[in-house]
A and B are shown apart, each in its own frame.
Chain A
Amino acid sequence: MSGLAVNTELLQKVLVGFVREEIRKVGVKKAVLGLSGGIDSALVAYIAAEALGPENVHAVIMPYRTSSPESEAHARLVGERLGIHYQVLEISPMVDAYFALFPEATPLRRGNKMARERMTVLFDHSAALSALVLGTSNKTELLLGYGTLYGDMASALNPIGDIYKSQVWLLSEAMGVPMEIVEKKPSADLWAGQTDEQELGFTYREVDELLYRMVDLRMSRAELEIHGFAPEFIDEIYTKVQNSHFKRRLPIIAKVSNRTIDRDFRYARDWGK
């Protein structure tokens, strides 16, 4: 698996330390996250439980009525194994009430709305529990833009946003995430039988190998082709990264003053922490 292989012990230490320190330095001790039943949120729950103690981790399982029952079962399994707080909160009533007004809405609109409904639940719990929301998007998804802006991409802290899906698998296995979750096919669970790889048209392992060389190693196009990547595949992925870049940035602000937020008004978020 080339350069994607990682020392999971060191990686675990960095990510656990990240959650512990970045949460405590803002003066809180708890985290809240959505558990989907998939591997990314399961891994974040494992990291958070180790960082903060299971008593300080609150998970919300938020199925929609078309979600697979297996997803909910896997999410509960994570909650039970870790001994963290968890609750099931169905989002069907909120989502359905809205789409009663727009019965013609496409599956894309519905999927995005569900992701944003979950986000509002998590941020409400953030205030209710004095807990920070943990993000569960991995580097592969973030680079491809395979997520909903202000939905599942929204969080206060994301421990896994700089590791590829292939590395999520490695670390999850090392940290003891249940094998039925590690081994199942990744799915956004928007409809029965959906899988990410089918929808994307390539496997995570294939795209991770390319992204690692393109982004992390900054290989030239010629070099990528020598490494055996098809020119059309390189184009497709490059375009996806480019076209989804807006999702990785704050909204842009029209500049009129001498000091514009994030352009010439620059401070770390950990300012004073």
Chain B
Amino acid sequence: MDFTVALAQIKPKLGCVADNLALIEEAVERGIREQAGLVVFPELALTGYFLKDLVPEVARPLYAPEIRRLADLSRHIGIAVGFVEVSDDHHFYNAAIYLEEGEIRRHHRKVYLPTYGLFDEQRYLASGDRFRAFDSRLGRMGLLICEDMWHLSAPYILAMDGATTLICLSSSPGRGITEADTFASTASWQRLTSATAMFLNSRVLYCNRVGYEDGVNFWGGSEIIDPSGALTVRGKILEEDFVIGGVSEESLRRERISSPMMRDENLFITLKELKRIGKERNR
């Protein structure tokens, strides 16, 4: 299916759920005005990123009024948004939901919580335990949250599960400054989104935030990558933006004819070898 995607490259306020909800609603309304089929937000758009001990205060259950409000708006447009989810057994997750037609189509809990360098997620959050593709009005999709995408198996599982659109919600800090035009972290991400799309013959919708938290910048540069790995459109670096681009069924079809790697991918060899490795590790 052909559709228009909006990537809302916003600047959330740290720990201010009401303010961020207003920011998100405003962007959703803009997406509706621009006739986008889907609007994607960054990781933790509803809360901000370096939450630390704020996690329990800003967490919301799936049935919270804020989520209900966004679900209502999804009668007009698909919405992928990140927030802190609290489960009924009081665990906190870095989560993303895909909303459409007033309902939660898919709910993903970030599996890979970075806890190194400037990251400290595992101290405050619980990990998710699955990657599952899902059907939406716009085709079969998969949700990834930031670090998830750095684990080859995550987008691979989603693509093997039939996803042709991979949505990645991100809060990526800019770091590593050299003579190059971009941060080292920006260059790595751009290689990653392109290579992932190319390997899996799938489009990648990447939404990264901007702004500063305690001196750490988030670099933006949200982008749509087509299934050949080529860039369709990219947002501004270090500035707020509302990136709009088209996604076409034809480009997916052509890519899957010319480079049918996903057709030829042998799930059973992969499974067999992974099982063997699992068994050997358990010995």
Contact = CB atoms under 8 A, between A and B. Distances in A.
Contacts of A271: 14-15, 54
B15 A6 contact: no
Contact of B52 (A10, A268, A272, A273): A268
Interface band, chain A: 20 to 34
Contacts of B213: 268, 270
A240 to B, nearest CB: 24
Contacts, number: 62
A220 B29 CA distance: 53
Interface in A216-273: 265-273
Q: Main secondary structure on chain B at its contact with chain A?
A: loop
B245 to A, nearest CB: 24
Interface stretch (B126-134, B177-185, B252-260): B177-185
A18 B217 contact: yes
Contacts of B211: 21
A157 B212 CA distance: 13
Given A267-B52, A268-B52, A271-B54, A14 B174 contact: yes
B50 interface: yes
Contacts of A22: 212, 215
A270 B50 CA distance: 9
A83 to B, nearest CB: 26
A109 interface: no
A17 interface: yes
A266 B53 contact: yes
Contact of B217 (A7, A14, A266, A269): A14
Interface in B44-59: 50-54
A157 B183 CA distance: 22
Interface string B210-246: 0111110100000000000000000001100000000
Interface in B8-50: 13-16, 50
A185 interface: no
Contact of B13 (A6, A13, A272): A272
A3 B178 contact: yes
Contacts of B215: 18, 22, 157
Contacts of B183: 10
Nearest to A21: B212
A164 B121 CA distance: 29
A162 to B, nearest CB: 8
Interface in B115-159: none
A269 B214 contact: yes
A56 B132 CA distance: 52
Given A17-B217, A21-B212, A5 B178 contact: yes
Interface in B179-197: 179-183
Interface in A1-38: 3, 5-7, 10-11, 13-14, 17-18, 21-22, 25
B174 A270 contact: no
Contacts of A14: 174, 177, 217, 238
Nearest to B49: A268
A270 B238 CA distance: 18
A273 B178 contact: no
A265 B53 contact: yes
A7 B180 contact: yes
B177 A270 contact: no
Nearest to B186: A10
A266 B52 contact: yes
A271 B13 CA distance: 9
B238 A17 contact: yes
Contacts of A10: 177, 181-183
Interface of B: 13-16, 50-54, 174, 177-183, 211-215, 217, 237-238
Given A7-B180, A10-B177, A25-B13, 11 more contacts: A10-B183, A13-B237, A17-B238, A18-B215, A18-B217, A21-B212, A267-B52, A268-B54, A268-B214, A270-B50, A273-B13
